[in-house]
């Protein structure tokens, strides 16, 4: 390894010297993989090709983080890359070969090597025509942001930063290598990445980047729902999603793929008869994140980052704009907004191509998020508590956190009262669960026993009888098989013959 890494940066030697301590620290963080990368760089050099570590791994090294990815770029074409790595790599694949990418594994490390790119785009469809480039500098200018357009040549460890990425990294600024309007015209998804990186890295976007996002927000519509969903998901799972969400709303990007979010910015009436629903939703999201358990913790702790909980927290009130009513007495109501919101949530998540299970879980949490507010000072019967648990099912631990997060009042006494009430509810749930195996509530007679008692065969009527005994179990708790059978026979005798 060279004693002093060379630098190629804007501004000449003075800037290079100023960035040298940061560069040395970054190289030190990459030390565990540099011998392997240096060996690979020497193989490429011996074959007459260039090779450089680029993008995320370089950025993360400067940020003091270890990147799970090792992305390399080269002037070698895919066939030439394969010729160099075959026999050195433990395994290789060329699933991205048409885009110039060859993947390989060396020990525990997965490496992607991509030929320099000089793409051109059909700006009406976002379908790139892949064209290979011949220089590292030409490849870097087509990258999304300057902080991702830094490279380290291998094996020389020359630092290449022709677009001022290190300076932007230090000032925590997102800027594009090319003019923002041109960069976003080439690939509108980069606007989503700007919001995602703002949340992941805690960076501000440059004013000219923000202006270009506003100007070109509508072009996001040509990007597939799946790609937009993936960027949005990464943003939502970041440490500070509020930063990116605010950027999406303020620039108009959210109007394209998630219009229900900016719609929460309900105009406050002159008497301020209701809180800002948009700001409330962001606070609920932040409070839900604070209640997530540690990564890798037990399932009941809801280990974070948890996509289902975060989506439910963000979307729990999206039914309010459609249900807002100004009452005669001066108040504002949002009757049944949880039911309307659940339907809107399901519709929007399907449009964004979320999977069925995630969509179903989030919509169910939105539907249930107000259920607790009927609890009052503990007036619920044990039957109501059982139904609460049964209706939540496996979502109960998330519902606990969503319900607690939904309290954003500045009234300290009210907040403490709600917290005590939910403490009481959870204690009652724990008590009943210990007494009755509440998480697996079933009728005290199974399907075969019901059929035998009534002398019927499997079918819709058996299903009705099963549902009846389940309601008995929820209302009365465990009463024993004999008492359950008596109630079943009484229900059967009183049943309308046509039912």
CATH number at residue 294: 1.10.3210
Close Cβ partners of 457 (under 8 Å, ≥ 6 residues apart) = 451
Residue 398 lies in a domain: yes
Element containing residue 359 per DSSP (H, E): helix 356-368
Task: Please say whether the beta carbons of 146 and 197 come within 8 A.
Answer: no
CATH of the domain at 185: 1.10.110.30
Close Cβ partners of 31 (under 8 Å, ≥ 6 residues apart) = none
151 & 120 share domain = yes
Secondary structure letter of residue 269 according to DSSP: P
Compute the half-sphere exposure of residue 151: CA atoms within 13 Å on the CB side of its CA: 27
Residue 365 lies in a domain: yes
Sign of the Cα pseudo-torsion (413, 415, 418, 419, in order): negative
Close Cβ partners of 376 (under 8 Å, ≥ 6 residues apart) = 421
130 & 197 share domain = no
Residue 413 lies in a domain: yes
275 & 367 share domain = yes
How far apart CA 40 and CA 73 sit, in angstroms, is 12
23 & 166 share domain = yes
84 & 198 share domain = no
Sign of the Cα pseudo-torsion (266, 261, 349, 404, in order): negative
267 & 237 share domain = no
Alpha helices in 124-188 (DSSP H): 136-140, 165-170, 180-186
282 & 248 share domain = no
166 & 176 share domain = no
Compute the half-sphere exposure of residue 170: CA atoms within 13 Å on the CB side of its CA: 9
Residue 134, classed as helix, strand or coil, is coil
How many domains in the chain?
4
User: Before 155, cis peptide (omega within 30)?
Assistant: yes
167 & 183 share domain = no
How far apart CA 434 and CA 441 sit, in angstroms, is 12
Helix, strand, coil abundance in the chain, percent, nearest 5: 55, 10, 35
Residue 372 lies in a domain: yes
Residue 359, pLDDT score: 98
pTM of the model: 0.81
184 & 72 share domain = no
Element containing residue 105 per DSSP (H, E): strand 101-106
Domain housing 134: 1-171
171, 196, 211: which is the final residue of a domain? 171
Residue 401 lies in a domain: yes
Residue 499 lies in a domain: no
Residue 387, pLDDT score: 86
Residue 207 lies in a domain: yes
Report CA-CA distances (Å) from 301 to 19, 67, 225, 292: 43, 27, 32, 7
113, 136, 171: which is the final residue of a domain? 171
403 & 461 share domain = no
Residue 432, pLDDT score: 82
Q: Which residues of the chain have pLDDT under 50?
A: 1-5, 9-18, 269-274, 499
129 & 244 share domain = no
Residue 499, pLDDT score: 46
Residue 411, pLDDT score: 82
137, 171, 205: which is the final residue of a domain? 171
Residue 310 lies in a domain: yes
How far apart CA 172 and CA 199 sit, in angstroms, is 12
How far apart CA 93 and CA 440 sit, in angstroms, is 47
Residue 208, pLDDT score: 97
Residue 11, pLDDT score: 40
């Amino acid at each position: 390894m060279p004693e002093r890494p060379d630098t190629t940066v804007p501004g000449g030697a003075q800037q290079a010297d100023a960035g040298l301590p940061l560069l040395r620290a970054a190289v030190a963080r990459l030390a565990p993989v540099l011998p392997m990368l240096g060996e690979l760089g020497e193989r490429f050099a011996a074959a007459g090709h260039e090779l450089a570590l680029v993008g995320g791994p370089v950025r993360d090294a400067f940020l003091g983080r270890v990147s799970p990815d090792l992305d390399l770029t080269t002037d070698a074409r895919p066939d030439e890359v394969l010729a160099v790595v075959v026999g050195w790599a433990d395994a290789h694949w060329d699933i991205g070969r048409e885009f110039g990418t060859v993947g390989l594994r060396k020990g525990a490390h997965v490496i992607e090597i991509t030929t320099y790119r000089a793409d051109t785009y059909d700006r009406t469809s976002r379908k790139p025509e892949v064209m290979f480039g011949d220089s590292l500098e030409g490849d870097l200018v087509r990258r999304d942001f300057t902080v991702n357009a830094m490279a380290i040549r291998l094996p020389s460890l020359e630092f290449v930063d022709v677009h001022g990425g290190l300076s932007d990294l230090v000032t925590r600024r997102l800027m594009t290598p090319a003019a923002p309007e041109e960069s976003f015209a080439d690939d509108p998804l980069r606007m989503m990445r700007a919001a995602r990186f703002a949340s992941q890295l805690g960076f501000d976007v440059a004013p000219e980047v923000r202006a270009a996002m506003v100007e070109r927000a509508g072009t996001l519509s040509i990007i597939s729902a799946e790609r937009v969903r993936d960027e949005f998901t990464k943003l939502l799972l970041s440490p500070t999603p509020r930063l990116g969400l605010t950027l999406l709303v303020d620039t108009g990007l959210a109007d394209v793929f998630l219009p229900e979010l900016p719609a929460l910015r309900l105009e406050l009436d002159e008497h301020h008869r209701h809180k800002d629903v948009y700001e409330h939703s962001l606070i609920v999201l932040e409070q839900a994140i604070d209640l997530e358990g540690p990564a890798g913790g037990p399932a009941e702790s809801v280990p974070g980052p948890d996509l289902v909980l975060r989506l439910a927290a963000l979307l729990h009130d999206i039914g309010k704009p459609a249900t807002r009513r100004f009452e005669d007495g001066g108040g504002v109501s949002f009757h049944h907004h949880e039911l309307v919101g659940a339907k809107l949530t399901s519709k929007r998540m399907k449009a964004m191509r979320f999977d069925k299970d995630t969509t179903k879980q989030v919509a169910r949490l939105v539907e249930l998020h107000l259920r607790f507010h009927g609890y009052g000072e503990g007036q619920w019967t044990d039957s109501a508590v059982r139904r609460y648990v049964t209706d939540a099912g496996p979502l109960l631990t998330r519902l606990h956190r969503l319900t607690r997060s939904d309290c954003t009042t500045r009234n300290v006494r009210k907040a403490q009262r709600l917290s005590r009430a939910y403490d009481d509810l959870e204690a009652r749930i724990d008590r009943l669960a210990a007494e009755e195996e509440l998480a697996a509530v079933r009728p005290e007679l199974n399907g075969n026993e019901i059929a035998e008692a009534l002398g019927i065969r499997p079918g819709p009527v058996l299903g009705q009888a099963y549902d009846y005994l389940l309601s008995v179990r929820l209302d009365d708790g465990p009463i024993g098989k004999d008492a359950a059978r008596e109630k079943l026979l009484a229900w059967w005798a009183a049943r309308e013959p046509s039912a």
